[in-house]
């Protein structure tokens, strides 16, 4: 199906039709991915693309609304996840422009991660939904949380000691009156705690 014939077909249908609304929401989906995700989910689940002359959902996305399959899957997965997670979620008008699509992907990942405790997930969810934190920022937060959660108490202890020693070394480095034995002792301590971490 050529792009010209697709555009002509869309122009021929009622301006208030679902298909036309979907094409319009595709044009502005970056500012309101929620609405677009909802439309795409309906098109995929009800196989509306077949009524419109497309063999597959992927063909419809590529030819009519010009998005890649991965983008379509990301949108529908995010929309489905959020409606399953909290059916009332999209009724809050402040989320329409505040909820970052990439942040939802991080929430999906966190929800399925066995190392992510309910408290950590709740904190991430609040950062995404209430504070409008971006996907990359939320991903960094999630990564840090998981590292801290999976770290053994001994590893954490050694890491903190090593940081303390490194800080002390950097503070005394410019000083002339610090005994060399003290510097050597700090180097030995740093080496010891580095070995304990590995």
Residue 129 contacts by C-beta under 8 Å, 6 or more apart in sequence?
Answer: 89, 95, 98, 99
Structure tokens at 141: 């937060």
Structure tokens at 28: 């502005």
Evaluate whether 47 touches 30 at the Cβ level (below 8 Å). Answer: no
Q: Give the integer Cα–Cα distance in Å for 5 and 32.
A: 27
**Given this model, what pLDDT does residue 24 score?**
73
Tokens 């939802």: give the residue.
104
Structure confidence by residue, pLDDT tens digits, 78-124: 999 988 887 776 665 455 556 788 998 999 999 988 888 888 888 99
Whole-model pTM: value is 0.60
Structure confidence by residue, pLDDT tens digits, 48-88: 999 999 999 999 999 988 889 899 999 999 999 988 887 77
Q: How many CB atoms lie within 10 A of CB 75?
A: 25
- Residue ranges per domain, the chain? 1-99, 100-150, 153-197
Mean pLDDT along residues 120-133: 86
């Amino acid at each position: 199906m050529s792009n010209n014939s697709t555009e002509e077909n869309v122009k021929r249908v009622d301006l208030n039709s679902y298909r036309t609304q979907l094409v319009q929401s595709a044009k502005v989906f970056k500012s309101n991915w929620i609405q677009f995700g909802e439309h795409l989910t309906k098109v995929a689940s009800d196989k509306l693309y077949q009524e419109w002359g497309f063999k597959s959902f992927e063909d419809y996305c590529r030819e009519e609304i010009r998005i890649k399959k991965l983008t379509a899957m990301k949108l529908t997965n995010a929309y489905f996840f959020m409606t399953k997670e909290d059916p009332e979620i999209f009724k809050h008008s402040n989320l329409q422009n505040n909820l970052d699509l990439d942040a939802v992907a991080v929430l999906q990942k966190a929800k399925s991660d066995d190392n992510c405790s309910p408290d950590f997930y709740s904190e991430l969810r609040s950062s995404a939904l209430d504070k409008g934190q971006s996907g990359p920022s939320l991903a960094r937060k999630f990564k840090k949380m998981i590292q801290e959660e999976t770290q053994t108490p001994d590893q954490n202890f050694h890491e903190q000691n090593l940081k303390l020693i490194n800080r002390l070394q950097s503070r005394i480095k410019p000083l002339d009156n610090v005994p060399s034995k003290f510097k050597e002792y700090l180097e030995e301590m740093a080496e010891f705690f580095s070995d304990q971490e590995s």
